[in-house]
Structure formats: structure tokens, C-alpha cells
Chains A and B, each alone.
Chain A
């Protein structure tokens, strides 16, 4: 009766969309059941296969690299331009943040449209994708060149092991770092007459003393991997392969989470982390002199020094709770199985992981490196900050290692993140959050 035009248009639209869509979907469901389910994975590559990787239109012409956007250092770009001239090939670097990189790789593995060389983030990527056949096993290359390049003898063992499974190596370490170092603002600590903390107790006391006047004693990270050093320091394991249990002993792990929660809500010496895709929030607060200390790794050295040259940065070894501990971090280089320039990618890996390149990157950015000879180099030893980091690297534990071949490893990480953020950002009781985590991951192992 009223507004006939609108009413009519709506009626036909709604009816059509509602009824039609439903019947359409059900028709689709039936069709889906009756048709065979063996969908081929990715593209059936008609391109001729080389010895490694595939031959495609980019072969010999363009080498495409995916790298973390924060790692496009001048030392690497200089190397790329040299490499372009030497091998008469164009090198294209595609910088991405880790989550976007993972998204693009996932889509790429489905379709076969992958880069020729890719940086990986030191987690499960290389082993999980390697054992699934998406990433090349580098064993043949290593058999040929390993001795000359000092692999694996010159590389820190833990960094190599996280990239190996079933006797194959799927990535070569590029950066080797550890998480759990104490970065502190010397000026603020001196003003409060506080020494760099060594134990949990000293740390909490220092936090309380440093908090005030718009400055927090420390800043916790929203990224849950930053909480794992605490777990280890409390004497707990992230995952115990023999008992197939997470966060054991639970009481110790709970203690570490309670400490972090108390820092935020009881002592108010850290702001509650805000969930996001970035792990750089605490570092930004540190650079803005809003936080006197942060727990992090060498990747934050360069941002702090370039962003706030007036801060006198100090680095202290990881804290001691029940034990002194840190987590292993860093990145590596892997070659996708459908790389169109696999052999050249391997040549580039060799160049990027040379001691000379490593030292150039360190000089430029303060990043720490996986070679033993790097740690022994006088330039590293004489640098007070790097020296602390190099000495702490042997403490580092690869918490993901026992899970690297578990198909649900990513879901486990997601569940852990949920638990951690509930504890530090939402003030959920530690027991409640942990119990929920345990019940979620129970089915994953």
C-alpha cells in the first residue's frame, strides 16, 4: 500500500536471494557429494622440471625473493646488485610483514606461483612446508658446497637443527637471535639509581622503582612468543615430547604468567599490551622513553638506535628465575620446490650467509648472526652490546622444535596466543586461561 515501488523491489530481491540462494547451495552440496573428491593440489605444472625447482618464464631472467620488510638491509641490497651483474639476472625483492608473507606463500603453494627464494621466520615454516614437499630439501646442494661454506660446522647447532627433519635440511640460517634479553635505558636506570636486573626479583623491584612520571618500568609485548622466555626461566617446558604435555610443570608455568599479569595489573609497571599484528609496540614505547626496559632480542637494536639516538641503550643477559633461559629466534632462507631459479637461489644463499655479509649486516644494524666464526670475530667481541647477545645465544632454546612436524603446530600457537593475551590484556585468571588452553590443544597432539 505504502511506497509501492520500494516495497516491490525489496520483495523480489529478498525472495529471490533467500529462496534461490538456499536451493542453490543445496544443489551445490549434492553435486559436491557425488563428484570425486581428489582435487589435485596446486597447478599441474606442465613446465619442464629441472634438477631442482622448475623451469618457467622467469628462469634465467628474474630471481624473485620474498623477505621480511624489516630485513631489507643495505648490505643485502648491495649484494643483490652485485649478484645481478655477475649472473646477468634481475633480482626482485618483495618485502612483506611475516603474516602477509605467510598468506602469500600459502596461496602460492596452492597455485604454484612461488618466489625463487624466500626468507622464513625460524618457526615451523621450513620443516612443515619442507616435509610436505612445498620447499626444497637442500641436501644435494649441501653435499656439493657444504664443506666450502662451512655448513653445518660453522653454524650454531640450535639454529641448524630447527630447520632439519628426517635427516634433511630445509633452510639455511640467515639471522640467529634470541628473545628474552633485557634492553634498558641507562639514563632512566641511573636516574632511579637502579642496576640492570639479573633475577626475577631484581626485575620486579626495578620495575616498581622505575615506574612513574609517565614512564613504565617495562612494557610487555602483545606477541605471545615474547612470553616464552619467562616460561622457560620458571623451569617449565613449552612442550614436553615424552609426556606430550604443554607447559609442564603447570605450577611453574603458571608462576611465570602470574608474574607478567601482576606487572600489568598489580604493580602497574607495564601497560596492558594491545592486540595487533605487530610486535614492535614495546620497542616504540622504549624509543619514546615511555618504558625504561623491554624484554626482546637484537632485532630491536637498530630501530632504537636509529629512531632515538639520544637513548643510551644497555643490554643485559636473560633473567634468572629458577633457571637462566632465553628462546631461540631468527630467520633463514629456503627455496620453494617450484622455484624457477633454484640453482641461482642457492648461489645467492651462499653469498648472503658468508661471514663477510654477516659482519656487514651487523655493522649496519646490530643484527646477530648464526656463524660461530661471527661470534668469534673481534668486531663482535669488542662491541659491548653484541657481546652480551653473543654470550646469551647458547642459552637459547627452540621451543617449537619438538612440535615442528605436528600438523597442528600453527593452531597450537594460535591457542597459546589466545591464552597469553587473555592473561595480560584481559586480566583473565591464570588458571582459567591455562585450563582452556590445555583443553584446546589436547586434541592437537
Chain B
């Protein structure tokens, strides 16, 4: 498990030029660039859409680029509804869940990686099996539970169903298996408590995996939309994903403002991804799980 230290293999000598047909590398470049463009062009178009004028989005035909960039659209989104609040709610909820994942998932992963105890297989299996449970199966019972607890329309109501997840536990377990046992044993001999061994010795070794876990948790929670739709009922608790259809007015869909609101969600996540994409790439490679 040498996640952090995987050697970057150079494959330059593996160009296809001399293998398939002359110019195969050139073809590869063209195809790869075209596909990469196909991935980002719709999202770039969303940016263009966000800055178009009302006339441009409501005209009979679509416009590729705005004639003048309507920076005022940003203010219009915030005027139409408290999007600052929605964004803040999204950040609070996703942030709390991420912190919880970072605290609990490694703890559980550590136990499964380094300890042997009765029922270990059964418990691990049961936790992993939760990945197959569609959120719908537990949504209504959760709703009833939270309603009885008076937790609907509150931060705890939005956060608690997602406090830990099987993916994070699995990820951390995979990583912790590679942390040498000797480190912990030496400390154990010196009489360190189990908690200290975990907290001061093992956990610091897993920083790269924690980065992956934190990023994935944050992004996927920012993107969550079904549970907030059901579990919130006032504007104060609304998160940004469920506010996106707000500009679908009866008279017309304000596509420019819908797109601008989408950018409020998309830009922070995209920026975070760009800054940490090295970790994301490793994270996917390491776990192979969403």
C-alpha cells in the first residue's frame, strides 16, 4: 500500500507511433483532447449562460457567448433569495459531516486494520453492506424518527444520517494496513495507552488518506439533494442544491440565474478539486470506490 510513494512510471517510450501506424500518437492527442473538451464544454457553457442577459436566454435561439457579460446577474441571484445563507448552510452541513468522517472513519478503519476480535468479519461485512442500501430505503423511516426527535429542519437533522460512511471506513482500513505494526508495538511496550498509540502514532501516518477522505466527503455532501429537500421546510435551513430550481418561474425559466446559482455551488467545489486533484486521483486509484 504505497499510496503516497507510488513511483510515477514514465511511459513515454510506449508511444504508439512505431506500433500501430504512423501518426498514432497524433491521433491519440486529437481524440483525447476532443473527449476532454467534450467533458468541460457543457460546464463552460454553463458559465457563459450564467452571464447572459434575460433577452439572450429567453430569445428563440441559444447564444454561445453573452454579447456583454452581465456581472449584475450575481447580485440578482443574491437579491432573489438568500443564496448566501443557502451556501453557508451547505458549507456548514458538508463541513460538519466531513469533520465527523475525519474523526470516526479512521478510528473504525484502524480497528479493522490492526485488531483481531470476535465478530470482526461480521461487523465489517455489515458495515460494507450498507453501501448497497439505496438512501430511499431508509429515507421515510429516518424522516419519522427525526420528526419524533424534533430534528427536522435543523442542522443536526441534515448532518446526523451521514455522520460516518462505509466508503471512508474501507478507505482508511486499506491505508492503515500499510502502516507498520512496529511503531505501535514499540509504544505499547513503553506503556502508551491505546488511544495515544492511535492518535499520536498511527493517525499522523495516514495524512494522505485523510486528505482524500476529507475531499470526497465534502464534495459529495455539498452535492446531496434528496434528504435536504425532504428534511428542511424553511428558507433559513435550505441548502444550495435544492434552491437551484428556484428560478424556474411560472412565466419562464431564468436559465441565466439558474446557471449563476449553480456556479455558486460548482466554483468552490471545482476550485477545491483543482487544488487537490493529485489526492483525488490517488484516492480513486487506491480504493476504486466512489
A–B: direct contact at CB < 8 Å: yes
- Which A residues have a C-beta under 8 Å from some C-beta of B? 5-6, 9-10, 13, 16-17, 19-21, 24, 42-43, 64, 70, 92, 94, 97, 100, 103-104, 107-108, 110-113, 115, 214, 278, 280, 283-284, 287-290, 299-300, 302-304, 306-307
Provide the residues of chain B in CB contact with A104, threshold 8 Å.
Answer: 230, 233
Provide the residues of chain B in CB contact with A17, threshold 8 Å.
Answer: 125, 128-129, 131-132
Query: Is A13's CB under 8 angstroms from B126's CB?
Result: no
Q: Identify which of residues 138-158 in chain B touch chain A, using a CB-to-CB cut-off of 8 Å.
A: 140, 143-144, 146-148, 152
Q: A214 with B60: in contact, given A70-B250, A107-B143, A110-B140 (CB under 8 Å)?
A: yes
B181 at interface, CB cutoff 8 A: no
Distance (whole angstroms) from the CB of B201 to the closest CB of chain A: 22
Provide the residues of chain B in CB contact with A108, threshold 8 Å.
Answer: 147
Residue of A nearest to B121 (CB): A16
Q: Considering the chains assembled together, what is the distance between the CA atoms of A20 and B125 in angstroms?
A: 5
Residue of A nearest to B148 (CB): A43
Q: Considering the chains assembled together, what is the distance between the CA atoms of A113 and B157 in angstroms?
A: 14
Query: Is B234's CB under 8 angstroms from A94's CB?
Result: yes
| 17 A-B pairs with C-beta separation under 8 A | A6-B288, A9-B288, A10-B288, A13-B128, A20-B124, A24-B125, A24-B126, A104-B230, A107-B140, A107-B143, A110-B143, A283-B251, A287-B251, A287-B252, A303-B250, A303-B251, A304-B251
Q: Considering the chains assembled together, what is the distance between the CA atoms of A342 and B261 in angstroms?
A: 37
Identify B147's interface contact among A43, A284, A302, CB under 8 A: A43
Q: A94 with B233: in contact, given A9-B174, A21-B132, A306-B251 (CB under 8 Å)?
A: yes
Distance (whole angstroms) from the CB of A114 to the closest CB of chain B: 10
B103 at interface, CB cutoff 8 A: no
B122 at interface, CB cutoff 8 A: yes
Q: Considering the chains assembled together, what is the distance between the CA atoms of A103 and B229 in angstroms?
A: 9
Q: A16 with B288: in contact, given A43-B148, A303-B250 (CB under 8 Å)?
A: no
B58 at interface, CB cutoff 8 A: yes
Residue of A nearest to B233 (CB): A94
Distance (whole angstroms) from the CB of B232 to the closest CB of chain A: 9
Query: Is A113's CB under 8 angstroms from B147's CB?
Result: yes
- Which B residues have a C-beta under 8 Å from some C-beta of A? 1-2, 58-60, 121-122, 124-126, 128-129, 131-132, 140, 143-144, 146-148, 152, 170, 174, 178, 229-230, 233-234, 245, 248-253, 287-289
Identify A24's interface contact among B1, B60, B129, CB under 8 A: B129
Distance (whole angstroms) from the CB of A77 to the closest CB of chain B: 14
Distance (whole angstroms) from the CB of B228 to the closest CB of chain A: 12
Q: Considering the chains assembled together, what is the distance between the CA atoms of A110 and B142 in angstroms?
A: 11
Leading 8 A-B pairs by shortest Cβ distance? A20-B125, A303-B251, A111-B147, A21-B129, A307-B251, A113-B147, A70-B250, A16-B125
Residue of A nearest to B226 (CB): A103
Provide the residues of chain A in CB contact with B126, threshold 8 Å.
Answer: 20, 24
Q: A43 with B144: in contact, given A21-B132, A70-B250 (CB under 8 Å)?
A: yes
Q: Considering the chains assembled together, what is the distance between the CA atoms of A115 and B253 in angstroms?
A: 28
Residue of A nearest to B236 (CB): A92
Q: Considering the chains assembled together, what is the distance between the CA atoms of A49 and B105 in angstroms?
A: 44
Provide the residues of chain B in CB contact with A9, threshold 8 Å.
Answer: 174, 287-288
Provide the residues of chain B in CB contact with A111, threshold 8 Å.
Answer: 143-144, 146-148, 152
Provide the residues of chain A in CB contact with B152, threshold 8 Å.
Answer: 111, 113
Max chain A CB contacts within 10 Å: which of B60, B245, B252? Answer: B252
Extra contacts besides A13-B289, A94-B234 (9): CB < 8 Å: A5-B178, A10-B288, A17-B131, A20-B125, A107-B230, A111-B147, A283-B251, A300-B250, A303-B250
Provide the residues of chain A in CB contact with B148, threshold 8 Å.
Answer: 43, 111-112
Q: Considering the chains assembled together, what is the distance between the CA atoms of A108 and B152 in angstroms?
A: 10
Q: Considering the chains assembled together, what is the distance between the CA atoms of A21 and B132 in angstroms?
A: 8
Max chain A CB contacts within 10 Å: which of B59, B146, B250? Answer: B250
Max chain B CB contacts within 10 Å: which of A70, A112, A113, A302? Answer: A113
